[in-house]
Amino acid sequence: MTATLTAPQLLTTIAATRALVAAHRAAGRRVALVPTMGALHDGHLALVARGRELADVVVVSIFVNPLQFGPSEDFEKYPRTLDDDLAKLSGRADAVFAPSVPEMYPGGAAQTRVVAGPVGERYEGAARPGHFDGMLTVVSKLFHIVQPDVALFGQKDAQQGFLVRQMVADLDLPLEIEMVPIVREADGLALSSRNRYLSEGDRMRALTLSAALRAGRDAAPAGVAAARRAALAVFDAEPDVRLDYLVIVDPATFLPLEDDATGDALMLVAARVGATRLIDNAPLVFGGVAG
């Protein structure tokens, strides 16, 4: 018997989710988990599609996790669009786990946290203190609830993916992590649930992020410093976009690369466009030495 591919089964409790997954596993089926906060777009659907290739059963979690939002962030106004999300997942996912906050945190909030470590304090972690500890704590809970064979994350949140992989290795969690390439609009804007906050003008200015990444990639043959300079010049030309950070890191350590580095690299950017904070990244290769 293969799992049904019509409307996904909606599960709101941990017990029901465990029971469903246990039945699939008992039947020898491989389970994929796509953790999301909802407000699904084509980037999420690419994760679901890749999950289908890697497993027999695809479970999507939809949970806006309060633990990973700072006090001045957009937890209250983060888009919650469950009906729309379920419609998008119809024919794509087998089950949706959409718990309430009390179901996930019956005591108010988890007292025990997963600590992301030093890389979790850089870049996004420096801008959003505690964000990665909250993210890893909920991801670890989701892994324990669903017990997937594979979990899928978007490359747009590259630092998140690095830290999830680090947690899985450090804590010997028995699953694979699959990173799925960024999905972009035709003009280069990386898909994000937060793009819906952008006004028409901000939407245009948001292209500064992907344009800077392209400029960095084009200048990469001249080295790390040249790539950084070229990308920064794109931000300098658009003063209405406030750059938070632009950094070139080693994808294996997520630490900044020295100017004389060669091999694979990742350029990460974060910037505020109007009231919306956006992130993006792209791979670069220095010195023609691909790893």
195 binds ligand PAF (CB under 6 A): no
Among 11, 32, 51, 65, binds ligand PAF (CB under 6 A): 65
Q: Does 268 bind ligand PAF (CB under 6 A)?
A: no
Q: Contact between 139 and ligand PAF (CB under 6 A)?
A: yes
Q: How far apart are alpha carbons 51 and 65 in whole angstroms?
A: 22
From 94, 124, 149, 157, residue interacting with ligand PAF (rule: CB under 6 A): 157
Residue of 24, 41, 44, 144 with catalytic role:
44
Near ligand PAF by CB under 6 A: residue from 11, 17, 21, 35? 35
Nearest distance in Å: CB 176, ligand PAF: 16
Under a CB-based contact definition with an 8 Å cutoff, are residues 259 and 265 in contact? no
Specify whether 24 is catalytic. no
Candidate residues 11, 20, 21, 37; the one interacting with ligand PAF per rule CB under 6 A: 37
Q: Please pick, from the candidates 55, 104, 114, 138, the single residue that binds ligand PAF as defined by CB under 6 A.
A: 138
Binding span for ligand PAF by CB under 6 A among 4-12, 35-43, 92-100, 177-185: 35-43
Dist. CA 127–CA 61, nearest whole Å: 26
Residues that bind ligand PAF (CB under 6 A): 35-37, 65, 68, 135, 138-139, 157, 160
Residues tagged active-site: 44
